[in-house]
A and B are shown apart, each in its own frame.
Chain A
Amino acid sequence: GQQVQQSPASLVLQEGENAELQCNFSSTATRLQWFYQRPGGSLVSLLSNPSGTKHTGRLTSTTVTKERRGSLHISSSQITDSGTYLCAMESGGSNYKLTFGKGTLLTVTP
Chain B
Amino acid sequence: GPKVLQIPSHQIIDMGQMVTLNCDPVSNHLYFYWYKQILGQQMEFLVNFYNGKVMEKSKLFKDQFSVERPDGSYFTLKIQPTALEDSAVYFCASSSSAETLYFGSGTRLTVL
Residue from A4, A42, A103 within 8 A of B103 (CB atoms): A42
A101 and B45 in contact, given A45-B100, A48-B99, A95-B56 (Cβ under 8 angstroms): no
Chain A residues numbered 6-24 whose CB sits less than 8 Å from any CB in chain B = none
Q: Using a CB–CB distance below 8 Å, which chain B residues touch chain A?
A: 31, 33, 35, 37, 41-45, 48, 50, 55-56, 58, 89, 91, 95, 98-106, 108
| Complex: chain B residue closest to A40, CB-CB | B105
Which residue of chain A has the shortest Cβ distance to B59 in the bound complex?
A: A1
Known: A41-B105, A42-B106. A97 touches B56 (CB 8 A): yes
A sample of 20 cross-chain residue pairs with beta-carbon separation below 8 angstroms, ordered by A number, consists of A35-B103, A41-B37, A41-B105, A41-B108, A42-B103, A42-B106, A43-B91, A45-B101, A48-B100, A86-B42, A86-B43, A88-B43, A95-B56, A96-B31, A96-B48, A97-B48, A98-B43, A98-B101, A100-B44, A102-B41
